Amino acid sequence: MIWNWKRGLGIGLIFAGIFIIFTARVLTGAVVGFSKENYLGIFGILVFVVGVVMVLAEEESLEDLLAKEPTIKDKVRLLEKLYTRGRFDEVEFAEQINKISELIGGCYKPQDQLRIDVANSRISLRDKYNHDLAVAIYRRILANDPAYIKNCEFHFGKEASTKHHKKGIKNL
């Protein structure tokens, strides 16, 4: 779930509606009705209902969110934000990036950098400490084309690396 201003405003309206309803009851002695004294209570109920509708409104699909972003880098940043909020796991994150633009290479050095190469862009990801994410991206790159191994520099530890310890990389 993505937190957006509509959902926040809806929650605010719910609380405001409840406050108005109880305030109207204290001031006028009634919650509902159609006399002059009860218009404040009716207004509170309307505010409450609008708030509930805003909270329950359907959130945008992933495709709609991605369509709003102009560049590949912006789309990857949006996916990264959704990933860090738990919308999908590492493998699905790599798949989503690959749908936007084919992964053709990358670089991972623990606690230093995690970078992906797509069509015409090199994008550094902010979650550079995530070993599982680096493995998922590496596997997705090789699934696209095994020849892309030349574009990869992934160091998964002292025993597994695409440059120095190639035997250990097969055990991932």
- The pLDDT of residue 95 is 92
- The pLDDT of residue 169 is 65
Domain parsing of the chain, residue ranges: 5-56, 62-169
**Which pLDDT tens digit goes with each residue over 30-63?**
555 556 666 777 888 899 999 888 888 766 677 7
Contact between residue 83 and residue 65 where contact means Cβ atoms under 8 Å apart: no
Residue 96 token pair: 């989503």
- The pLDDT of residue 92 is 92
User: pTM of this prediction?
Assistant: 0.63
Rounded Cα distance between 110 and 122, Å, is 18
Residue 30 token pair: 């009634």
Rounded Cα distance between 77 and 11, Å, is 27
- Please give the average per-residue pLDDT across 75-94, as a whole number: 86
What is the average pLDDT score of the chain? 79
Pairing type for strands 105-109 and 160-161 reads unpaired
